[in-house]
Amino acid sequence: MSRIAVYPGTFDPITNGHLDLIKRALKIFDKIIVAVAENTQKKPLFPIEQRIHLVETVVSGHSFVDVCKLDKLVVELAKEHSANVILRGLRAVSDFEYEVQLAGINRSMEPSIESVFMSPADDFAFLSSSIVKDIARHRGKLGNYVHPEVEKCLIQKFK
Protein backbone atom coordinates (compact mmCIF):
# COMPACT_ATOMS: atom_id res chain seq x y z
CA MET A 1 0.00 0.00 0.00
CA SER A 2 1.36 3.42 -0.99
CA ARG A 3 1.69 6.16 1.58
CA ILE A 4 0.01 9.12 -0.09
CA ALA A 5 -0.44 12.51 1.60
CA VAL A 6 -2.55 15.48 0.56
CA TYR A 7 -0.98 18.84 1.34
CA PRO A 8 -3.78 21.44 1.11
CA GLY A 9 -3.37 25.20 1.16
CA THR A 10 -3.98 28.39 -0.74
CA PHE A 11 -0.30 28.73 -1.74
CA ASP A 12 -0.76 32.43 -2.49
CA PRO A 13 2.08 32.23 -3.40
CA ILE A 14 4.03 29.04 -2.78
CA THR A 15 7.17 29.80 -0.76
CA ASN A 16 10.47 28.06 -0.16
CA GLY A 17 9.00 27.04 3.19
CA HIS A 18 6.22 25.13 1.43
CA LEU A 19 8.77 23.51 -0.87
CA ASP A 20 10.98 22.54 2.06
CA LEU A 21 8.03 20.83 3.74
CA ILE A 22 7.18 18.97 0.50
CA LYS A 23 10.78 17.77 0.08
CA ARG A 24 11.02 16.58 3.66
CA ALA A 25 7.60 14.91 3.47
CA LEU A 26 8.82 12.91 0.46
CA LYS A 27 11.18 11.13 2.85
CA ILE A 28 8.10 9.82 4.68
CA PHE A 29 5.46 9.49 1.96
CA ASP A 30 5.57 7.81 -1.44
CA LYS A 31 3.56 10.60 -3.05
CA ILE A 32 2.41 14.12 -2.15
CA ILE A 33 -0.69 15.69 -3.69
CA VAL A 34 -0.44 19.47 -3.38
CA ALA A 35 -4.06 20.65 -3.33
CA VAL A 36 -4.42 24.34 -4.16
CA ALA A 37 -7.56 25.78 -2.54
CA GLU A 38 -9.64 28.68 -3.73
CA ASN A 39 -10.40 29.77 -0.13
CA THR A 40 -13.28 32.21 -0.39
CA GLN A 41 -12.49 33.52 3.12
CA LYS A 42 -9.32 35.16 1.80
CA LYS A 43 -8.79 37.60 -1.06
CA PRO A 44 -5.96 35.92 -2.95
CA LEU A 45 -3.35 37.95 -4.80
CA PHE A 46 -3.17 35.42 -7.64
CA PRO A 47 -6.08 33.62 -9.31
CA ILE A 48 -6.23 29.89 -8.64
CA GLU A 49 -5.08 28.93 -12.14
CA GLN A 50 -1.91 30.98 -11.70
CA ARG A 51 -1.30 29.58 -8.21
CA ILE A 52 -1.62 26.04 -9.58
CA HIS A 53 0.81 26.90 -12.40
CA LEU A 54 3.32 28.37 -9.94
CA VAL A 55 3.11 25.31 -7.68
CA GLU A 56 3.59 23.04 -10.70
CA THR A 57 6.64 25.09 -11.73
CA VAL A 58 8.18 24.98 -8.26
CA VAL A 59 7.70 21.20 -7.80
CA SER A 60 8.49 20.25 -11.41
CA GLY A 61 11.72 18.48 -10.43
CA HIS A 62 9.94 16.17 -8.00
CA SER A 63 8.36 13.22 -9.80
CA PHE A 64 6.35 12.01 -6.80
CA VAL A 65 4.47 15.30 -6.37
CA ASP A 66 1.18 16.02 -8.12
CA VAL A 67 -0.74 19.29 -8.08
CA CYS A 68 -4.50 19.69 -8.26
CA LYS A 69 -7.27 22.15 -7.52
CA LEU A 70 -9.02 21.74 -4.17
CA ASP A 71 -12.68 22.56 -4.74
CA LYS A 72 -14.24 20.14 -2.26
CA LEU A 73 -13.66 18.92 1.26
CA VAL A 74 -10.05 17.87 1.70
CA VAL A 75 -11.13 14.45 3.03
CA GLU A 76 -13.12 13.86 -0.18
CA LEU A 77 -10.10 14.80 -2.29
CA ALA A 78 -7.92 12.52 -0.17
CA LYS A 79 -10.29 9.58 -0.73
CA GLU A 80 -10.33 10.24 -4.50
CA HIS A 81 -6.53 10.01 -4.56
CA SER A 82 -6.34 7.03 -2.15
CA ALA A 83 -4.50 9.24 0.32
CA ASN A 84 -4.61 8.28 3.97
CA VAL A 85 -2.91 11.40 5.34
CA ILE A 86 -3.55 15.13 5.33
CA LEU A 87 -0.22 16.93 5.68
CA ARG A 88 -0.11 20.31 7.43
CA GLY A 89 2.72 22.63 8.38
CA LEU A 90 2.94 24.20 11.83
CA ARG A 91 5.13 27.29 12.07
CA ALA A 92 4.23 28.46 15.55
CA VAL A 93 2.05 27.75 18.54
CA SER A 94 -0.47 30.18 17.03
CA ASP A 95 -1.05 27.72 14.15
CA PHE A 96 -1.60 24.79 16.50
CA GLU A 97 -5.10 25.49 17.82
CA TYR A 98 -6.60 26.05 14.36
CA GLU A 99 -4.85 23.01 12.89
CA VAL A 100 -6.01 20.75 15.72
CA GLN A 101 -9.59 21.91 15.13
CA LEU A 102 -9.28 21.09 11.42
CA ALA A 103 -7.75 17.70 12.19
CA GLY A 104 -10.59 16.91 14.57
CA ILE A 105 -13.34 17.80 12.11
CA ASN A 106 -11.59 15.93 9.29
CA ARG A 107 -11.23 12.85 11.53
CA SER A 108 -14.93 13.05 12.46
CA MET A 109 -15.87 13.11 8.75
CA GLU A 110 -13.39 10.41 7.69
CA PRO A 111 -11.79 8.40 10.52
CA SER A 112 -9.52 6.48 8.14
CA ILE A 113 -7.60 9.64 7.19
CA GLU A 114 -5.00 10.93 9.64
CA SER A 115 -3.57 14.43 9.94
CA VAL A 116 0.20 14.71 10.18
CA PHE A 117 1.87 17.93 11.25
CA MET A 118 5.40 18.92 10.29
CA SER A 119 7.32 21.92 11.54
CA PRO A 120 9.35 23.95 9.07
CA ALA A 121 13.11 23.91 8.83
CA ASP A 122 14.66 26.64 10.99
CA ASP A 123 15.39 28.77 7.91
CA PHE A 124 11.65 28.97 7.16
CA ALA A 125 10.05 29.02 10.61
CA PHE A 126 9.14 32.69 10.18
CA LEU A 127 8.06 32.52 6.54
CA SER A 128 4.50 32.81 5.28
CA SER A 129 2.84 33.77 2.00
CA SER A 130 1.54 36.92 3.70
CA ILE A 131 5.04 37.99 4.71
CA VAL A 132 6.35 37.28 1.20
CA LYS A 133 3.58 39.42 -0.32
CA ASP A 134 4.41 42.23 2.10
CA ILE A 135 8.09 42.08 1.16
CA ALA A 136 7.14 42.17 -2.52
CA ARG A 137 4.70 45.04 -1.98
CA HIS A 138 7.57 47.07 -0.50
CA ARG A 139 9.97 45.97 -3.23
CA GLY A 140 12.20 43.96 -0.95
CA LYS A 141 14.50 41.14 -2.02
CA LEU A 142 12.63 37.85 -2.43
CA GLY A 143 15.35 35.45 -3.61
CA ASN A 144 15.73 33.60 -0.30
CA TYR A 145 12.01 33.11 0.14
CA VAL A 146 10.53 32.06 -3.20
CA HIS A 147 11.37 30.32 -6.48
CA PRO A 148 12.56 32.71 -9.25
CA GLU A 149 9.33 32.25 -11.23
CA VAL A 150 7.27 33.21 -8.17
CA GLU A 151 9.54 36.20 -7.59
CA LYS A 152 8.99 37.32 -11.19
CA CYS A 153 5.19 37.09 -10.79
CA LEU A 154 5.28 39.00 -7.49
CA ILE A 155 7.41 41.79 -8.95
CA GLN A 156 5.05 42.05 -11.92
CA LYS A 157 2.01 42.13 -9.64
CA PHE A 158 3.36 45.01 -7.54
CA LYS A 159 4.76 47.14 -10.39
Point out the residues that are catalytic.
Answer: 18, 42, 91, 129
Q: If DSSP codes are grouped into helix, strand and coil, which group holds residue 11?
A: coil
- Sheet containing 114-118: order of strands: 65-70, 31-37, 4-9, 85-89, 114-118
Q: Which amino acid is at 1?
A: M
- Tell me if 65 sits within 8 A of 10, measured CB to CB: no
CA dist 25 and 7 (Å) reads: 10
- Tell me if 29 sits within 8 A of 83, measured CB to CB: no
